[in-house]
């Protein structure tokens, strides 16, 4: 798939590597979206399609905190901040899953031209723990 962007659009690529029982699974999504700074916070906005449904994604980067909100057929608000565990609900069309995440690392190299955000965290759900390494790339 080839994505074309206009002057005010960015190409957003998200790659998540998740380790489950010693095996690594990689999930990626790429979309055209927007990226801007407001009140010393950076925002990444894009939409994806999943099983025929559109999902809006907003990523807010504020110093040592990253919040990823999804709305549409899937809804969640995940807060990444080093220190402590944070609980959230992941809402799907067929029900909710309670999850917890603990952030080990946040690295951001975003500038007005784009850049990267790296999140390393452990996701817990239904008694299982999954180690995640997510990289978000923003480019013109």
- 90-116 pLDDT, tens digit per residue, is 999 899 999 999 999 999 999 989 999
Whichever domain contains 135, its CATH number is 2.40.128.20
Instruction: Give how many domains the chain has, as a whole number.
Output: 1
Residue 2's pLDDT is what? 44
Residue 122 lies in a domain: yes
Convert the pLDDT of each residue in 22-42 to its tens digit: 899 999 999 999 999 999 999
Ramachandran region, residue 135 (left: φ > 0; alpha: ψ -120 to 50; beta: rest): beta
Residue 69 lies in a domain: yes
Residue 51's pLDDT is what? 77
Burial 32-43 (b: 16+ CB within 10 A, else e): ebebeeeeeebb
Residue 4 lies in a domain: no
Model confidence, pTM: 0.91
Per-residue confidence at 5, pLDDT binned at 50, 70, 90?
A: very low
User: Which residue has tokens 């955000």?
Assistant: 117
Residue 21's pLDDT is what? 84
Per-residue confidence at 66, pLDDT binned at 50, 70, 90?
A: very high
Residue 134 lies in a domain: yes
Mean pLDDT of 68-74: 96
Mean pLDDT of the chain: 92
Residue 3 lies in a domain: no
Residue 2 lies in a domain: no
Phi, psi of 72 (to 5 degrees): 125, -140
The range of the structural domain enclosing residue 113 comes to 10-139
DSSP string, 7-35: TT-EEEEEEEEEEETTEEEEEEEEEEEEE
User: For residue 117, what are its two tokens?
Assistant: 């955000």
């Amino acid at each position: 798939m080839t994505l074309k962007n206009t002057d005010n659009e960015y190409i957003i690529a998200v790659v998540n590597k998740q380790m489950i029982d010693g095996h690594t699974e990689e999930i990626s999504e790429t979309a055209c979206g927007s990226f801007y700074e407001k009140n010393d916070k950076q925002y990444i906005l894009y939409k994806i399609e999943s099983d025929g449904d559109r999902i809006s994604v907003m990523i807010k980067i504020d110093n040592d905190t990253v919040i990823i909100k999804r709305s549409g057929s899937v809804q969640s608000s995940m807060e990444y901040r080093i220190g402590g565990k944070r609980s959230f609900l992941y809402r799907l069309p067929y029900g909710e899953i309670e999850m917890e995440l603990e952030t080990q690392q946040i690295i951001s190299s975003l500038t007005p031209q784009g850049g990267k955000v790296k999140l390393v965290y452990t996701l817990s759900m239904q008694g299982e723990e999954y180690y995640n390494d997510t990289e978000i790339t923003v480019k013109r």
